[in-house]
Structure 1
Amino acid sequence: MTSTVRFGANYTPSQGWFHHWLDFDLDAVRADLDSIAALGLDHIRVFPLWPVFQPNRTLIRPRAVEQLVQLADAAAERGLDVNVDGLQGHLSSFDFLPAWTQTWHRRNIFSDPDVVSGQAAYLRTLAAALADRPNFIGMTIGNEVNQFSSGPHPDPDRITPEQAERWLVRLLDACEEGAPGKLHLHAEYDAAWYQDDQPFTPAHSARLGALTAVHSWVFNGTAQRHGRTGTATEHHAAYLIELSKAWAEDPHRPVWLQEVGAPAPLIPAEHAGTFTEATVAGALDCQDLWGVTWWCSHDVSRSLADFPELEYSLGLMTSDREVKPAGKTIARIVEEQRARPCRPAPRTTALVVDAGDDGTAPGRSVCAPGGAVFEAFARLTADGARPAVVLASRAHDAGHLAARGITEVVTPDQVR
């Protein structure tokens, strides 16, 4: 671990989006990586497409793995470290699941023994291929794979929290077997923190893997409710970082803001730079922040059809590699942080969250936009209180509070 906050981008190829694996062009990748490195960023998050890399349960394509290694080596030449998400999974509204899990071969991707065994072999293979690369950060099991486990997905593979935990442990172990000692983790979209019946829980996110990942998207009701300049909107990323710490067993467990972006039209293009500035400033005011990784590096090209409109405009750069306002803002922040790194003080006031049982959090919707904890955090932040979050079960644990620098505890109904 490093005390310096890392800054990176989720790499979206400017040509062909993630379909570029089908027509892999290393020269185009190198040009993209040049443009990312020019912003001063130090890492990328990379997304193999699971059906392309493992089209059959017992076939992990050597050529695809070789191309992933070529990408990682090209990144190293430009001073960029690489995190690899294995199971894609879900990207920008599209699902990518191999045929051997669907229709006539329909099997639960979280609980079927053969499927899980195949997933473990796949992740182990990718990790092993990169294990000796100094710029390889580690594996993320997959991108927001929890969206397959419950509604609102139209055809979920339903499981219990106990099954979700077994799946996570098995696949994290596979990553560690492939690349011992690297930072291996898992990453869920915010239903893990906000949705009462989501089987992937806050405890899973905050206690399993090398560090906690949070994905901050204000189109989840936050910006609709509070507006583009609302405190809750500009501090949503900071809120998720602090919320995650409530469930962490290590009071200084690192947290990675692994996805965050400025989604139009809730954040209009002319305000993207301002939103980016406020969001990153809020995140940097949180202790134990490992890194900030913006979604995404390059816009989706308008030549590609059927994406939700916002997906065409989320890049730090256009699909022609022209730097946009958000990209200029990130580049400036990176330069400033390298000259004068942020050293946030402890957050001394903690807001109590009671979501029921700490392990399963059956009442975690109190943490969602409109919920008592969410709205109280926003009000405290607007008043300059810099709140932390603590579980009700730990609200009177003097040792835990002291380890986090907390000196005052308040409940949501005490916040006016």
Structure 2
Amino acid sequence: MPVQDTARRPLRFGANYTPTQGWFHHWLDFDPDAVRADLDSLAALGLDHIRVFPLWPLFQPNRTLIRPRAVEQLVQLADAAAERGLDVNVDGLQGHLSSFDFLPAWTQTWHRRNLFTDPDVLAGQEEYLRTLAAALADRPNFLGMTLGNEINQFSDGPHPDPDRITRGQAAAWLERMLTACERGAPGRMHLHAEYDAAWYRDGHPFTPAQAARLGSVTAVHSWVFNGTAQRHGPAGTATEHHAAYLIELSKAWATDPHRPVWLQEVGAPAPHIPAERAADFTEATVVNALDCPDVWGVTWWCSHDVSRSLADFPELEYGLGLLGNDRTLKPAGKAIAALVEEWRGREHRPPVRSTALVVDTGGAEDAPRRSVCAPGGAVFEAWARLTAQGARPTLVLAELAQDAAHLTSRGITEVHKADEVCQGLPSGPGPGAL
């Protein structure tokens, strides 16, 4: 099969919306005027979409009660975004945000039930996602649903109290919840999104194959505090190309050679990225990500800083905004605004990446040795080395590395093994803790 042209579509630039008043607790005291002011400050950057986060316990405090007023407020937010030219993606099951877990009481303590397998919990989640999707189905600016924010963290360590499941149970949960979203809003872009344990952690029940094959697009969340910046420094090739690496890593498992990939979360976390380097890191990360074919768009984490009046966040969470908590523009925000202006009206058509690095994780479905892809792993370090040499590598599964039809479909003409590339690299610590 010949290499197909990348779809001629405009790149999307957006932000994960963190309200200035009350953070995500703003749903308790929903203030449309404050939301509008926040959205005005985002529209001023030239952004075209936001990702928004209902808090699951507030929207569905009882398994059979989805609060109509909360759903109405979500629609109000979407309509306010539309007035400012902003499309909206909605994360349903929150789930987990910035180190805090938000789970309804009917899943915890005396009512403790597995989030991914209990029949009553599944039915409640299914109806909740369907309801949110249906409420927005007639809004032209509604992009679709993301099932939840990094909900895979509830299924495995290092979560202190995980709901353990198998790979098959994870896949069944994903398929059922995506179907619920489709029932609520047929034809929209419904997807799921995991933190990088899905790509890097041996034995994790959410897998690269699920991430790259289920849902309308593949979502990747790129955070360099996972061992990347610690190992390679704030300006290292691996650090500034981490998002691009995840985008290309996802393509190793994709069955569609041109499946869109959404860089749905990426940020500049201090002190791993010092404040004085935030703008440079932001520009480099986005430019490098956009050198990957088939990118749907980039959604920065996050829109506004978290107020210092709120307690107990990890220190790095307070300053990730493109704008301050007072809506003043920060250096990272200036960098994003400049990139948006540069790309306005342009087609995203980077050259094919013809050099590939082999990914051998011990099997495409389970990927039992996927830690080779993590910071410090052979695949990760070999990819970084090739990138530093200017090779623009992609990645290919070992099972497909000699499949001529597959290589041709992706435009791959040169294949390398990680151990060959890594010969002569200095030894160092293993994969960073997740």
Give TM-score, length-normalised by structure 1: 0.99
**Equivalent position to 1:133, from 131, 134, 139:** 139
Q: Does 2:256 align with 1:246? A: no
**Equivalent position to 2:201, from 174, 177, 195:** 195
Equivalent positions of 1:16-415 (< 5 A) are: 16-338=22-344, 340-415=346-421
Give 4+ residue runs of structure 1 displaced > 6 Å after superposition.
Answer: none
Distance 2:419 2:25 in 1: 49
Segments of structure 2 that go 5 or more residues without pairing to the other structure are: 1-6, 423-434
Other structure's SS at 1:286 match: coil
Which residue type is aligned with residue 346 of structure 1? V
Other structure's SS at 1:264 match: coil
Other structure's SS at 1:27 match: helix
* 1:330-371 residue CA offsets vs partner (Å, 9 max, x unmatched): 000000011544421000000000001111100000000000
Paired position in structure 1 for 2:430: none
Which residue type is aligned with residue 329 of structure 2? V
Aligned residues: 416
Which residue type is aligned with residue 44 of structure 1? I
Distance 2:79 2:281 in 1: 33
Other structure's SS at 1:76 match: helix
Which residue type is aligned with residue 376 of structure 2? G
Segments of structure 1 that go 5 or more residues without pairing to the other structure are: none
Give TM-score, length-normalised by structure 2: 0.95
Distance 1:210 1:111 in 2: 23
Distance 1:66 1:47 in 2: 14
Distance 1:3 1:340 in 2: 9
Distance 1:224 1:274 in 2: 18
Equivalent positions of 1:6-17 (< 5 A) are: 6-17=12-23
* 1:1-52 residue CA offsets vs partner (Å, 9 max, x unmatched): 8621100000000110000000000000000000000000000000000000
Asked whether the equivalents of residues 156 and 164 of structure 2 are also in contact (C-alpha less than 8 Å), the reply is yes
Distance 2:420 2:258 in 1: 27
Deviation at 1:249, TM superposition (A): 0.4
Asked whether the equivalents of residues 8 and 348 of structure 2 are also in contact (C-alpha less than 8 Å), the reply is no
Other structure's SS at 2:344 match: helix
* 1:44-94 residue CA offsets vs partner (Å, 9 max, x unmatched): 000000000000000000000000000000000000000000000000000
Distance 2:15 2:406 in 1: 34
Other structure's SS at 1:374 match: helix
Deviation at 1:413, TM superposition (A): 1.1
* 1:273-316 residue CA offsets vs partner (Å, 9 max, x unmatched): 00001100110000000010000000000010110001110000
Distance 1:174 1:395 in 2: 36
Asked whether the equivalents of residues 361 and 368 of structure 2 are also in contact (C-alpha less than 8 Å), the reply is yes
Which residue type is aligned with residue 196 of structure 2? D
Distance 2:386 2:305 in 1: 35
Distance 2:192 2:347 in 1: 27
Deviation at 1:189, TM superposition (A): 0.1
Distance 2:163 2:94 in 1: 15
Which residue type is aligned with residue 130 of structure 1? L
Deviation at 1:399, TM superposition (A): 1.0
Distance 2:217 2:233 in 1: 31
Distance 1:269 1:33 in 2: 24
Asked whether the equivalents of residues 43 and 85 of structure 2 are also in contact (C-alpha less than 8 Å), the reply is yes
Asked whether the equivalents of residues 9 and 348 of structure 2 are also in contact (C-alpha less than 8 Å), the reply is no
Distance 2:409 2:338 in 1: 34
Distance 1:232 1:125 in 2: 41
Asked whether the equivalents of residues 137 and 184 of structure 2 are also in contact (C-alpha less than 8 Å), the reply is yes
Which residue type is aligned with residue 271 of structure 1? R
- After alignment, is 342-351 or 22-31 more displaced? 342-351
* 1:192-223 residue CA offsets vs partner (Å, 9 max, x unmatched): 00000110000000000000000000000000
Distance 1:342 1:190 in 2: 26
- After alignment, is 334-343 or 361-370 more displaced? 334-343
Distance 2:44 2:220 in 1: 26
